[in-house]
A and B are shown apart, each in its own frame.
Chain A
Amino acid sequence: MENMTFEKAMARLEEIVLGLEEGNLELEKTLNLFEEGLRLFRFCEEQLKGAEGRVMKLVQELDPGRDVSILEE
């Protein structure tokens, strides 16, 4: 997952989904892709949660009294 970015991960996820939906891959390959896909999901989620956390932190630094719930629009 080094050098992986959210965008790259998303692109790869799309690729994997298309491959899996096609459905004529070897079983071994199918399982590997499925596993990779789940890993990418986790990665993307962590990235987003991390980004949200950073934003909240910055917002609070900028404006300590601020209600951070603006992020949940």
Chain B
Amino acid sequence: MERKRVLSVSELTGHIKTVLEQERLLAGVWVRGEISGYKLYRQSGHAYFSLKDEGAVISCVMFRSRVRHLRFLPEDGMKVVARGYISVFEKNGRYQLYIEEMEPDGLGALFLQLRQLRDRLDREGLFALERKKTLPVFARRVGVVTSQDGAAFRDIVKVIRQRHPGAEVVIAHSAVQGAAAPAEISAAIRALNEYGQVDVLIVGRGGGSFEDLWAFNTEEVVRAVYESRIPVISAVGHEVDYSLCDLVADARAATPTQAAQMAVPDIEALGYQSMVLKERLQNAVSRNISRRWQELDQVRDRKVWSQPETLTRQRDEWLSFLRDRLVKSCLKRLDEQSYRLNSLARHLDALGPHQVLRRGYALVRKLEAGDLVNDVEKVRIEEELEIILKRGTMRVRVEAKEPEKNGKHDI
């Protein structure tokens, strides 16, 4: 026989837990019942209790993060509607309802209806972030949709006066609670859109109970806000949760006072800011110009401008160098020439008659023409001639002459 597989307690419990968590109905269930054995643990902040009716009871846990969002104080015997999921707490083997939101019953129906409306409008895209309009930075006229007798309106006017004395407030009165409220609020929003002379709308009221705020959770108001061409700030005073009006509006304020702050700029702060910006602008511009002057001065300081002679100095130097060389080489050439001249002169001297005369030879010259005489045929008897010795000259007369024999002298 085949032996059945034996599970451990943990395995079995784990399996049950998985089965329960995978069951779609149990993953997000609405349940109506009466609170019993409510206990809130101070330290952890978690709440433990049961929900029961005539036929059954179920253990419930509400963790601190969920308890914080409760809009009422749960008590034993209170009838409620709760939403949560079923899971198993393995340590004690009990299945429990892990509650995520809970409302008193009666309101519960309204609450459910609201959630359903929210989901439907959300699917339709009315809350999409990408279609939200930006609030004007310098709104001068603010349209307000609220009760003209309410504290909300007084707060809004007060804050706007403080921040921006020049801004105007246009009120479109409407009831903010009661059966007529949804129609009046949407009519006022449409009226201000038709009027068109306002830069931004504030739609809202001071705080109130869930029922008090009901008008701002109606489809009629949500659609009117959605269709507004003018940006809408929702100021439905509500600490805990968003109203549908908050979700569809272009901006959400926690209080009317905050809405007014968002609607108009603080003129004084703005003035100061613009003064600071102006200073910074001027400083930036003048710094920019100063820096350019500096750049220009730096280039101007370069040698080529401050001492432009450096541009031609090299050439000057080269030129004087060449001039020097030219002069020097000329002088040298001149020296050489004069040396040669001297030596030639010496040479010439050596070749000249003086050296011969020194040795005792003489020159004979005719008196009239000064011609040197080297042939007896050129002189006559009785002619006077001049004889040049090394030292001095003398005059003589020819007495006789004898022609050359054999072409030779006797010397």
Contact = CB atoms under 8 A, between A and B. Distances in A.
Interface of A: 6, 10, 13-14, 17, 20-21, 23, 27, 30, 34, 37-38, 41, 44-45, 48, 51-52, 55, 59, 62-63, 70-71, 73
B296 A14 contact: no
B295 A52 contact: no
Interface of B: 278, 282-283, 285-287, 289-290, 292-293, 295-296, 299-300, 302-305, 308, 311-312, 314-315
Contacts of A34: 304, 308, 311
A59 B282 CA distance: 8
A48 B286 CA distance: 10
The 4 closest A-B pairs by CB, nearest first: A20-B304, A71-B286, A17-B302, A13-B299
A70 B302 contact: no
Given A27-B315, A34-B311, A37-B304, A55 B299 contact: no
Contacts of A10: 292, 295-296, 299
Contact of B293 (A13, A20, A37, A48): A48
A45 B292 CA distance: 10
Contacts of B289: 48, 51-52, 55, 71
Contacts of A38: 305
A34 B307 CA distance: 12
A45 B280 CA distance: 25
Given A10-B299, A13-B299, A14-B299, A21 B304 contact: yes
A38 B304 CA distance: 11
A72 to B, nearest CB: 8
A30 B282 contact: no
A30 B311 contact: yes
Contact of A73 (B286, B292, B295, B312): B286
Nearest to B293: A48
